Structure 1
């Protein structure tokens, strides 16, 4: 019985240590319902080279724009595939492939963040938090280096970085315009057959 008791106590101690480690891991950041928590999650994920994990910490408009880009590029690719002649078909399909084949908006974000240097910019500028200013639904996190990051409270209460929203929205608008051009050209190609 003594040996069984020792094993049981050992197992209890190991379980308790595991529980403490898990609790500490889950609570190492402030909640993402604070600007500090959202910023620290972005900084951490950029630091471990996981830009995809930053997507939930972009503001709603930026996330919606990423999904819009994916949807228009996918729709345009399907129309090009069905109606365009070669070599125009192959050229445009290759141009739209990354976003048209994206699983979701996060994949579009990662592609744009990589190609347009968003990740490099974040990696270069992220540092510890110097101060945080909150005004209603907006906040600014100023780093120890003096870089300012704008945030907006999202509908779900999580704070979202607004730094790249304009770029994502502009690309979504471009994708919508491109879709219109693709559709008109496809109709012309079909009439010409």
Structure 2
């Protein structure tokens, strides 16, 4: 047997082993329709430093809050740019810029996860699964280190992490209140502008 042929056979066998291992790992990985599977996907997203990938494993209220923050901040920024005078226009437009430019809920969550240090917090506590307690639509994953993570089954059957729901819902409510204040002030500025003798 020539060296070239032996090398080809060795590489082929190595490739088959790698593909076999990947297939076996994929088949063994629990479904995200189980609390353990959702938790392991959270771990994977944190380890890869990809908060966008973690978004799919948040509970529904947290996801909706992220979409709401993006929508309200976009509307507020548009209104500020249209009707506010300087220097407030530039200051508020810049304050809302990142969230207004976020294309979807994943991007909004990623902004919060990075600015609030949520991934670092998770990274310190995440470890292997010691046990899972499931009661109806709620579950608790206890790690080897003794940390508990609560999950809730979403309408689509995927389990969502509840850790960030309260702060995200609070941010969504704050964004809604801020928008109301911005709109009232923008209406006042627009009225004053119309009343001005030179129209501006």
Tell me the TM-score normalized by structure 2: 0.86
| Alignment map for 1:45-84 (pairs within 5 Å) | 45-84=45-84
Gaps of 5+ in 2: 194-200
Q: Is the 8 A contact 1:34 1:158 kept in 2?
A: yes
Q: Does 1:177 align with 2:180?
A: no
> Aligned with 1:72: secondary structure?
helix
Alpha-carbon offset, residue 98 of structure 1: 1.1
Gaps of 5+ in 1: 1-5
> Aligned with 2:186: secondary structure?
helix
The aligned counterpart of 1:3 is none
Number of equivalent positions: 189
Q: Does 1:153 align with 2:130?
A: no
User: 2 CA distance for matches of 1:129 and 1:118?
Assistant: 20
User: 2 CA distance for matches of 1:44 and 1:138?
Assistant: 22
Cα RMSD for the two superposed structures: 2.2
User: 1 CA distance for matches of 2:162 and 2:145?
Assistant: 19
Alpha-carbon offset, residue 165 of structure 1: 0.2
The aligned counterpart of 2:20 is 20
Tell me the TM-score normalized by structure 1: 0.89
Q: Radius of gyration: which is bigger?
A: 2
Q: Is the 8 A contact 1:29 1:41 kept in 2?
A: no
User: 1 CA distance for matches of 2:27 and 2:87?
Assistant: 55
User: For the structure 1 residues 25 and 96, does the alpha-carbon distance in structure 2 shift closer, same or farther, using more than 3 Å as the test?
Assistant: farther
User: 1 CA distance for matches of 2:63 and 2:82?
Assistant: 29
User: 2 CA distance for matches of 1:94 and 1:28?
Assistant: 47
1:118-160 superposed Cα distances (whole Å, 9 cap, x missing partner): 1111011101111110000000001111111000001111100
> Aligned with 2:131: secondary structure?
strand
